[in-house]
Amino acid sequence: MFELLKEQPEDKILMLMQAYREDPREAKIDLGVGVYKNAEGKTPIMRAVKAAEKQLWEVEETKSYTGLAGDVGFADAMFDLLIGDACPRDCVAAAATPGGTGAVRQGFDMIRMANREARVFVSDPTWPNHLSILKHMEMHIQPYRYFDSETRSVNFAGMIEDIADARVGDVVLLHGCCHNPTGANLTLEQWQQVIDTLLKTGATPMIDIAYQGFGDGLAEDAAGLRMVVAQMPEVLIAASCSKNFGVYRERTGLLLAVAQDKVRRQANQGMLNYLNRQNYSFPPDHGARLVTMVLQDDALRMDWEEEVREIREGVLALRQQLAGELARLTNSDRFAFVAEHRGMFSRLGATPEQVEAMRVSHGVYMVGDSRINMAGLNKDSVPVLAEAMVAAGV
Ligand code: PMP
Protein backbone atom coordinates (compact mmCIF):
# COMPACT_ATOMS: atom_id res chain seq x y z
CA MET A 1 0.00 0.00 0.00
CA PHE A 2 2.86 2.40 0.54
CA GLU A 3 3.08 2.99 -3.21
CA LEU A 4 -0.20 4.88 -2.86
CA LEU A 5 1.48 7.58 -0.78
CA LYS A 6 2.37 10.84 -2.45
CA GLU A 7 5.88 12.10 -1.95
CA GLN A 8 5.89 15.13 0.36
CA PRO A 9 7.98 18.21 -0.35
CA GLU A 10 11.09 18.45 1.80
CA ASP A 11 11.24 21.14 4.46
CA LYS A 12 13.03 24.11 2.89
CA ILE A 13 14.83 25.14 6.07
CA LEU A 14 16.12 21.62 6.69
CA MET A 15 17.35 21.48 3.09
CA LEU A 16 19.15 24.75 3.66
CA MET A 17 20.84 23.36 6.80
CA GLN A 18 22.05 20.41 4.76
CA ALA A 19 23.51 22.66 2.06
CA TYR A 20 25.22 24.74 4.75
CA ARG A 21 26.83 21.66 6.30
CA GLU A 22 28.14 20.57 2.92
CA ASP A 23 29.69 23.97 2.10
CA PRO A 24 33.49 23.58 2.62
CA ARG A 25 34.11 27.32 3.11
CA GLU A 26 35.46 28.27 6.52
CA ALA A 27 33.78 31.67 6.68
CA LYS A 28 30.21 30.56 5.85
CA ILE A 29 27.36 32.11 7.84
CA ASP A 30 24.20 30.22 8.82
CA LEU A 31 21.19 32.53 9.15
CA GLY A 32 18.66 29.79 8.40
CA VAL A 33 17.13 27.69 11.12
CA GLY A 34 15.27 29.49 13.92
CA VAL A 35 17.25 28.57 17.02
CA TYR A 36 19.07 31.06 19.20
CA LYS A 37 22.85 30.98 18.90
CA ASN A 38 25.36 32.88 21.01
CA ALA A 39 28.42 34.70 19.66
CA GLU A 40 30.28 31.36 19.42
CA GLY A 41 27.48 29.88 17.34
CA LYS A 42 26.33 27.58 20.17
CA THR A 43 22.78 27.02 21.39
CA PRO A 44 23.53 26.73 25.10
CA ILE A 45 21.40 25.17 27.82
CA MET A 46 20.27 28.15 29.88
CA ARG A 47 21.93 28.43 33.29
CA ALA A 48 18.71 28.25 35.31
CA VAL A 49 17.44 25.32 33.25
CA LYS A 50 20.68 23.41 33.86
CA ALA A 51 20.43 24.12 37.59
CA ALA A 52 16.79 23.01 37.65
CA GLU A 53 17.74 19.84 35.81
CA LYS A 54 20.30 19.03 38.51
CA GLN A 55 17.75 19.61 41.26
CA LEU A 56 15.18 17.54 39.43
CA TRP A 57 17.55 14.60 39.20
CA GLU A 58 17.83 14.70 43.00
CA VAL A 59 14.14 15.01 43.81
CA GLU A 60 12.22 13.31 41.02
CA GLU A 61 10.98 9.94 42.25
CA THR A 62 8.83 8.69 39.45
CA LYS A 63 8.42 8.88 35.71
CA SER A 64 4.85 7.68 35.91
CA TYR A 65 2.25 9.53 33.81
CA THR A 66 1.11 13.04 34.63
CA GLY A 67 -2.48 14.13 33.91
CA LEU A 68 -3.78 14.24 30.34
CA ALA A 69 -3.34 18.01 30.34
CA GLY A 70 0.11 17.74 31.93
CA ASP A 71 1.09 19.14 35.31
CA VAL A 72 -1.28 21.83 36.62
CA GLY A 73 1.70 23.65 38.17
CA PHE A 74 3.08 24.18 34.65
CA ALA A 75 -0.22 25.63 33.43
CA ASP A 76 -0.40 27.93 36.48
CA ALA A 77 3.17 29.18 36.07
CA MET A 78 2.71 29.76 32.34
CA PHE A 79 -0.63 31.48 32.93
CA ASP A 80 1.18 33.98 35.15
CA LEU A 81 3.98 34.48 32.65
CA LEU A 82 1.67 34.95 29.66
CA ILE A 83 -1.55 36.41 30.98
CA GLY A 84 -0.69 37.76 34.46
CA ASP A 85 -3.80 39.46 35.80
CA ALA A 86 -5.41 40.21 32.43
CA CYS A 87 -8.22 37.72 33.15
CA PRO A 88 -9.29 35.37 35.96
CA ARG A 89 -7.38 32.08 36.08
CA ASP A 90 -10.59 30.10 36.50
CA CYS A 91 -11.82 31.09 33.03
CA VAL A 92 -8.81 29.51 31.35
CA ALA A 93 -8.42 25.86 30.35
CA ALA A 94 -4.89 24.72 29.51
CA ALA A 95 -3.09 21.63 28.31
CA ALA A 96 0.60 20.92 27.94
CA THR A 97 1.62 19.95 24.41
CA PRO A 98 4.75 18.73 22.62
CA GLY A 99 6.27 22.15 21.88
CA GLY A 100 4.53 25.20 20.48
CA THR A 101 3.88 23.22 17.31
CA GLY A 102 1.83 20.77 19.37
CA ALA A 103 -0.12 23.69 20.84
CA VAL A 104 -0.79 25.13 17.38
CA ARG A 105 -1.89 21.75 16.10
CA GLN A 106 -4.20 21.09 19.08
CA GLY A 107 -5.59 24.62 18.78
CA PHE A 108 -6.48 24.04 15.13
CA ASP A 109 -8.00 20.69 16.07
CA MET A 110 -10.18 22.39 18.68
CA ILE A 111 -11.32 24.96 16.11
CA ARG A 112 -12.16 22.21 13.65
CA MET A 113 -14.11 20.32 16.31
CA ALA A 114 -16.15 23.48 16.97
CA ASN A 115 -16.69 24.43 13.33
CA ARG A 116 -15.61 22.38 10.34
CA GLU A 117 -16.25 25.39 8.12
CA ALA A 118 -14.08 27.78 10.13
CA ARG A 119 -11.76 29.91 8.06
CA VAL A 120 -8.42 30.50 9.71
CA PHE A 121 -7.10 33.96 8.81
CA VAL A 122 -3.30 33.94 8.69
CA SER A 123 -0.84 36.76 8.14
CA ASP A 124 0.84 36.94 4.75
CA PRO A 125 3.49 35.76 5.30
CA THR A 126 3.37 33.55 8.37
CA TRP A 127 5.39 30.70 9.89
CA PRO A 128 5.20 28.12 7.06
CA ASN A 129 4.19 25.38 9.49
CA HIS A 130 0.90 27.19 10.18
CA LEU A 131 0.00 26.77 6.53
CA SER A 132 1.30 23.27 6.22
CA ILE A 133 -0.59 22.02 9.30
CA LEU A 134 -3.83 23.74 8.22
CA LYS A 135 -3.47 22.23 4.76
CA HIS A 136 -2.81 18.80 6.20
CA MET A 137 -5.92 19.15 8.35
CA GLU A 138 -7.91 20.24 5.29
CA MET A 139 -8.94 23.47 6.96
CA HIS A 140 -9.78 26.74 5.20
CA ILE A 141 -6.86 29.15 4.99
CA GLN A 142 -7.57 32.84 4.49
CA PRO A 143 -4.41 34.99 4.20
CA TYR A 144 -4.59 38.61 5.37
CA ARG A 145 -2.19 41.34 4.25
CA TYR A 146 0.52 41.90 6.82
CA PHE A 147 3.96 42.78 5.49
CA ASP A 148 4.65 45.74 3.25
CA SER A 149 7.68 44.69 1.20
CA GLU A 150 8.48 48.32 0.34
CA THR A 151 8.71 49.68 3.89
CA ARG A 152 9.43 46.28 5.48
CA SER A 153 6.90 47.13 8.16
CA VAL A 154 3.29 46.15 8.82
CA ASN A 155 0.74 47.02 6.14
CA PHE A 156 -1.74 47.85 8.85
CA ALA A 157 -4.49 49.34 6.70
CA GLY A 158 -4.42 46.19 4.54
CA MET A 159 -4.45 43.96 7.60
CA ILE A 160 -7.49 45.67 9.13
CA GLU A 161 -9.37 45.68 5.85
CA ASP A 162 -8.76 41.95 5.42
CA ILE A 163 -9.55 40.77 8.95
CA ALA A 164 -12.74 42.87 8.94
CA ASP A 165 -14.02 40.20 6.55
CA ALA A 166 -13.92 37.50 9.25
CA ARG A 167 -17.23 36.27 10.64
CA VAL A 168 -18.52 34.53 13.75
CA GLY A 169 -17.05 31.02 13.63
CA ASP A 170 -13.84 32.16 11.91
CA VAL A 171 -10.46 32.43 13.62
CA VAL A 172 -7.82 35.12 13.18
CA LEU A 173 -4.34 33.87 13.94
CA LEU A 174 -2.00 36.53 15.35
CA HIS A 175 1.66 36.36 16.35
CA GLY A 176 1.97 37.41 19.99
CA CYS A 177 5.35 39.09 19.41
CA CYS A 178 8.48 38.83 17.28
CA HIS A 179 6.61 37.99 14.06
CA ASN A 180 8.08 35.00 12.22
CA PRO A 181 9.29 35.40 9.46
CA THR A 182 9.23 39.20 9.09
CA GLY A 183 10.27 40.70 12.46
CA ALA A 184 7.64 43.43 11.90
CA ASN A 185 5.21 43.83 14.81
CA LEU A 186 2.06 45.68 15.81
CA THR A 187 2.21 48.69 18.13
CA LEU A 188 -0.11 48.65 21.14
CA GLU A 189 -2.40 51.16 19.40
CA GLN A 190 -2.60 48.76 16.46
CA TRP A 191 -3.36 45.83 18.77
CA GLN A 192 -6.28 47.89 20.07
CA GLN A 193 -7.57 48.48 16.57
CA VAL A 194 -7.28 44.77 15.81
CA ILE A 195 -9.32 44.04 18.95
CA ASP A 196 -11.97 46.63 17.99
CA THR A 197 -12.21 45.09 14.51
CA LEU A 198 -12.45 41.53 15.83
CA LEU A 199 -15.12 42.54 18.36
CA LYS A 200 -17.19 43.92 15.48
CA THR A 201 -16.82 40.73 13.43
CA GLY A 202 -17.39 38.23 16.26
CA ALA A 203 -14.42 36.16 15.04
CA THR A 204 -12.17 34.39 17.56
CA PRO A 205 -8.50 35.34 17.94
CA MET A 206 -5.80 32.70 18.27
CA ILE A 207 -2.41 33.96 19.39
CA ASP A 208 0.78 32.06 18.68
CA ILE A 209 3.52 33.24 21.03
CA ALA A 210 6.88 31.54 20.60
CA TYR A 211 9.42 34.26 21.49
CA GLN A 212 8.22 35.97 24.67
CA GLY A 213 11.16 37.94 26.09
CA PHE A 214 13.13 38.11 22.84
CA GLY A 215 11.57 41.38 21.60
CA ASP A 216 11.24 44.19 24.14
CA GLY A 217 10.92 42.28 27.44
CA LEU A 218 8.89 39.50 29.04
CA ALA A 219 5.94 41.70 30.02
CA GLU A 220 6.27 44.00 27.01
CA ASP A 221 6.10 41.08 24.58
CA ALA A 222 2.89 39.83 26.21
CA ALA A 223 1.22 43.26 26.31
CA GLY A 224 -0.80 42.82 23.09
CA LEU A 225 -1.88 39.32 24.12
CA ARG A 226 -3.00 40.65 27.52
CA MET A 227 -5.08 43.37 25.88
CA VAL A 228 -6.81 40.73 23.74
CA VAL A 229 -7.44 38.46 26.72
CA ALA A 230 -8.83 41.33 28.80
CA GLN A 231 -11.24 42.51 26.13
CA MET A 232 -12.33 39.53 24.07
CA PRO A 233 -14.77 36.85 25.23
CA GLU A 234 -12.84 33.90 23.79
CA VAL A 235 -9.17 33.49 22.90
CA LEU A 236 -6.91 30.58 22.03
CA ILE A 237 -3.22 30.88 22.91
CA ALA A 238 -0.49 28.55 21.66
CA ALA A 239 2.70 29.11 23.65
CA SER A 240 6.16 27.66 23.07
CA CYS A 241 8.93 27.40 25.67
CA SER A 242 11.45 26.18 23.09
CA LYS A 243 13.23 29.51 22.56
CA ASN A 244 12.84 31.51 25.75
CA PHE A 245 13.81 28.53 27.94
CA GLY A 246 16.10 26.97 25.35
CA VAL A 247 14.42 23.56 25.77
CA TYR A 248 13.85 22.91 22.06
CA ARG A 249 14.21 19.15 21.99
CA GLU A 250 12.29 18.61 25.22
CA ARG A 251 9.13 19.65 23.32
CA THR A 252 7.53 22.05 25.76
CA GLY A 253 4.43 24.05 24.94
CA LEU A 254 0.98 24.92 26.23
CA LEU A 255 -2.41 25.52 24.65
CA LEU A 256 -4.72 27.83 26.59
CA ALA A 257 -8.40 28.43 25.91
CA VAL A 258 -9.74 31.62 27.51
CA ALA A 259 -13.50 31.58 28.04
CA GLN A 260 -16.02 33.88 29.63
CA ASP A 261 -16.87 31.80 32.67
CA LYS A 262 -15.97 28.75 34.75
CA VAL A 263 -18.65 26.53 33.23
CA ARG A 264 -17.33 27.05 29.72
CA ARG A 265 -13.80 26.66 31.02
CA GLN A 266 -14.65 23.22 32.33
CA ALA A 267 -16.09 22.12 29.00
CA ASN A 268 -12.99 23.49 27.24
CA GLN A 269 -10.72 21.64 29.65
CA GLY A 270 -12.55 18.42 28.80
CA MET A 271 -12.02 19.14 25.11
CA LEU A 272 -8.29 19.83 25.54
CA ASN A 273 -7.87 16.62 27.56
CA TYR A 274 -9.79 14.71 24.90
CA LEU A 275 -7.63 16.09 22.10
CA ASN A 276 -4.40 15.24 23.93
CA ARG A 277 -5.77 11.73 24.48
CA GLN A 278 -6.58 11.24 20.81
CA ASN A 279 -3.32 12.55 19.46
CA TYR A 280 -0.62 11.38 21.87
CA SER A 281 -2.23 10.76 25.24
CA PHE A 282 0.01 12.28 27.91
CA PRO A 283 2.15 15.24 26.89
CA PRO A 284 5.92 15.25 27.55
CA ASP A 285 6.75 16.41 31.07
CA HIS A 286 10.50 16.91 31.46
CA GLY A 287 10.78 20.33 29.83
CA ALA A 288 7.51 21.52 31.38
CA ARG A 289 8.76 20.56 34.83
CA LEU A 290 12.03 22.43 34.32
CA VAL A 291 10.14 25.52 33.15
CA THR A 292 7.86 25.31 36.19
CA MET A 293 10.82 24.99 38.56
CA VAL A 294 12.54 27.99 36.99
CA LEU A 295 9.42 30.13 37.16
CA GLN A 296 8.57 29.16 40.74
CA ASP A 297 12.00 29.49 42.36
CA ASP A 298 13.03 33.10 43.04
CA ALA A 299 16.76 32.60 42.44
CA LEU A 300 16.34 30.48 39.31
CA ARG A 301 13.77 32.87 37.95
CA MET A 302 15.99 35.89 38.49
CA ASP A 303 18.86 34.18 36.72
CA TRP A 304 16.60 33.10 33.84
CA GLU A 305 15.18 36.59 33.41
CA GLU A 306 18.73 37.93 33.38
CA GLU A 307 19.80 35.43 30.70
CA VAL A 308 16.73 36.23 28.57
CA ARG A 309 17.70 39.90 28.90
CA GLU A 310 21.26 39.13 27.77
CA ILE A 311 19.92 37.27 24.74
CA ARG A 312 17.48 40.05 23.87
CA GLU A 313 20.06 42.79 24.21
CA GLY A 314 22.63 40.78 22.27
CA VAL A 315 20.23 40.40 19.33
CA LEU A 316 19.29 44.09 19.50
CA ALA A 317 22.96 45.08 19.43
CA LEU A 318 23.45 42.96 16.28
CA ARG A 319 20.43 44.66 14.72
CA GLN A 320 21.89 48.08 15.44
CA GLN A 321 25.30 47.08 14.15
CA LEU A 322 23.86 45.71 10.91
CA ALA A 323 21.62 48.75 10.35
CA GLY A 324 24.63 51.02 11.02
CA GLU A 325 26.89 49.07 8.68
CA LEU A 326 24.28 49.18 5.90
CA ALA A 327 23.69 52.90 6.42
CA ARG A 328 27.42 53.47 6.06
CA LEU A 329 27.81 51.30 2.94
CA THR A 330 24.73 52.64 1.15
CA ASN A 331 24.84 56.16 2.50
CA SER A 332 21.10 55.89 3.13
CA ASP A 333 18.60 54.87 5.80
CA ARG A 334 16.92 52.27 3.58
CA PHE A 335 17.86 49.56 6.03
CA ALA A 336 16.81 51.33 9.22
CA PHE A 337 14.04 48.71 9.49
CA VAL A 338 16.62 46.13 10.60
CA ALA A 339 16.94 47.99 13.92
CA GLU A 340 13.17 48.50 14.16
CA HIS A 341 12.29 44.82 13.78
CA ARG A 342 12.07 42.71 16.91
CA GLY A 343 12.83 39.09 17.77
CA MET A 344 15.27 36.76 16.09
CA PHE A 345 14.03 37.28 12.55
CA SER A 346 14.02 39.96 9.90
CA ARG A 347 12.82 39.69 6.36
CA LEU A 348 15.32 41.64 4.29
CA GLY A 349 13.15 41.95 1.21
CA ALA A 350 15.72 40.38 -1.16
CA THR A 351 14.64 38.44 -4.25
CA PRO A 352 15.37 34.68 -4.44
CA GLU A 353 18.09 35.50 -6.98
CA GLN A 354 19.74 37.92 -4.56
CA VAL A 355 19.49 35.33 -1.78
CA GLU A 356 21.26 32.85 -4.04
CA ALA A 357 23.89 35.42 -5.03
CA MET A 358 24.71 36.07 -1.36
CA ARG A 359 25.14 32.34 -0.79
CA VAL A 360 27.44 31.93 -3.78
CA SER A 361 29.57 35.04 -3.24
CA HIS A 362 29.82 35.26 0.56
CA GLY A 363 28.64 31.87 1.90
CA VAL A 364 25.64 33.55 3.57
CA TYR A 365 22.78 31.09 4.04
CA MET A 366 19.26 32.45 4.57
CA VAL A 367 15.75 31.21 3.83
CA GLY A 368 14.64 31.79 0.21
CA ASP A 369 12.18 34.51 1.25
CA SER A 370 15.21 36.42 2.68
CA ARG A 371 14.36 35.78 6.32
CA ILE A 372 17.50 35.97 8.43
CA ASN A 373 18.03 34.69 11.95
CA MET A 374 19.85 37.59 13.59
CA ALA A 375 21.24 35.24 16.25
CA GLY A 376 23.22 33.47 13.53
CA LEU A 377 25.38 36.60 13.32
CA ASN A 378 28.17 37.90 15.53
CA LYS A 379 30.19 41.13 15.59
CA ASP A 380 32.58 39.80 12.96
CA SER A 381 30.03 38.39 10.53
CA VAL A 382 27.72 41.42 10.51
CA PRO A 383 30.02 43.40 8.13
CA VAL A 384 30.23 40.33 5.84
CA LEU A 385 26.44 40.13 5.60
CA ALA A 386 26.19 43.88 4.97
CA GLU A 387 28.77 43.61 2.20
CA ALA A 388 27.01 40.60 0.67
CA MET A 389 23.70 42.46 0.67
CA VAL A 390 25.15 45.50 -1.02
CA ALA A 391 27.06 43.38 -3.56
CA ALA A 392 23.86 41.49 -4.42
CA GLY A 393 21.99 44.77 -4.86
CA VAL A 394 19.42 44.16 -2.09
N1 PMP B 1 5.15 29.31 16.32
C2 PMP B 1 6.07 30.04 15.70
C3 PMP B 1 5.68 31.33 15.09
C4 PMP B 1 7.38 29.58 15.65
O5 PMP B 1 8.31 30.32 15.03
C6 PMP B 1 7.71 28.35 16.26
C7 PMP B 1 9.13 27.85 16.23
N8 PMP B 1 9.75 27.82 15.02
C9 PMP B 1 6.69 27.63 16.90
C10 PMP B 1 5.42 28.15 16.91
C11 PMP B 1 6.87 26.31 17.59
O12 PMP B 1 8.07 25.91 18.00
P13 PMP B 1 8.31 24.58 18.84
O14 PMP B 1 7.34 23.53 18.36
O15 PMP B 1 9.70 24.22 18.58
O16 PMP B 1 8.04 24.93 20.27
**pLDDT, tens digit (0-9, with 9 covering 90-100), for 122-165:** 999 999 999 999 999 999 999 999 999 999 999 999 999 999 99
Q: Are residues 110 and 246 in the same domain?
A: yes
Instruction: Let me know whether 251 and 339 are in one domain.
Output: no
Tally of domains within the chain: 2
The CATH number given to whatever domain includes residue 136 is: 3.40.640.10
Catalytic residues: 127, 208, 210, 243
Atom in ligand 1 nearest the alpha carbon of residue 127: 3
Is residue 59, in this structure, part of any structural domain at all? no
Phi first, then psi, for residue 29 (nearest 5°) are -130, 125
Q: Do 82 and 229 fall within a single domain?
A: yes
Q: Whose CA is nearest to atom 10 of ligand 1?
A: 100
Which amino acid would we find at residue 108? F
Residues 238 and 363 in one domain: no
At 14, the pLDDT band (50, 70, 90 cuts) reads confident
* Ligand 1 center–CA 4 separation, angstroms: 31
Confidence of residue 212 (pLDDT cuts 50, 70, 90): very high
Q: In this structure, is residue 259 part of a structural domain?
A: yes
Distance (Å, whole) CA 323 – CA 334: 9
CA of 98 to the centre of ligand 1 (A): 11
Whether 86 and 120 map to the same domain: the answer is: yes
Domain closes at, from 248, 263, 296: 296
Q: Percentage of the chain with pLDDT > 90?
A: 97
DSSP code for 110:
H
Whether the CB-CB separation of 152 and 345 falls below 8 Å is answered with no
Which pTM value belongs to this model?
0.97
Same domain membership, residue 231 and residue 103: yes
Asked if the structure places residue 4 within a domain, the reply is no
Domain boundary residue among 244, 261, 296? 296
Nearest CA to ligand 1 atom 2: 210
Burial class (CB in 10 A: 0-12, 13-18, 19+), 18: exposed
| Among 81, 148, 121, CA closest to 341 | 148
- Write the burial class of residue 74 (CB in 10 Å: 0-12 exposed, 13-18 middle, 19+ buried): buried
Atom of ligand 1 nearest to the CA of 102: 14
How far does the centroid of ligand 1 lie from the alpha carbon of residue 210, in Å?
A: 6
Q: Which residues line ligand 1 (CB under 6 A)?
A: 34, 99-101, 104, 127, 175, 180, 208, 210, 240, 242, 248, 253
pLDDT for the residue 89? 97
Sorting pLDDT into bands at 50, 70 and 90, what band is 338? Answer: very high
Claim to verify: residue 271 and residue 315 sit in the same structural domain = no
pLDDT recorded at residue 33: 86
pLDDT value for 43: 97
Give the DSSP letter of residue 177.
Answer: S
pLDDT at residue 339 in the model? 98
Q: Is residue 5 part of a domain?
A: no
The answer to whether residue 9 scores a pLDDT higher than 90 is: no
Which residue lies with its CA nearest to atom 6 of ligand 1?
210
pLDDT in tens, 175-189: 999 999 999 999 999
Residue 51 placed within a domain: no
Which atom of ligand 1 is closest in space to residue 242's alpha carbon?
Answer: 16
Residue 13 has pLDDT above 90, yes or no: no
Among the listed ranges 6-10, 102-106, 134-138, 231-235, which one has the minimum average pLDDT value? 6-10
Q: What percentage of the chain exceeds 70 in pLDDT?
A: 100
| CB 315 within 8 Å of CB 344 | yes
- Is the ipTM, as predicted for this complex, more than 0.85? yes
Q: Are residues 163 and 96 in the same domain?
A: yes
Nearest CA to ligand 1 atom 4: 210
Question: Mutate which of 12, 101, 174 to test ligand 1's pocket (most atoms within 8 Å of Cβ)?
Answer: 101
The alpha carbon dihedral of 383, 128, 240, 157 has a sign of: positive
| pLDDT band with cut points at 50, 70 and 90 for residue 12 | confident
Give the distance (Å) from ligand 1 centre to CA of residue 130. 9
Q: Are residues 311 and 188 in the same domain?
A: no
Per the prediction, the chain carries an average pLDDT of 97
Residue 259 pLDDT more than 90?
Answer: yes
114, pLDDT greater than 90: yes
Q: Are the beta carbons of 129 and 104 closer than 8 angstroms? A: yes
Which ligand 1 atom lies nearest to the CA of residue 100? 16
Q: Please check the confidence at residue 10 and state whether its pLDDT lies above 90.
A: no
Ligand 1 centroid – CA 353 distance (Å): 27
Average pLDDT over residues 303-307: 98
Q: For residue 253, what pLDDT is reported? A: 98
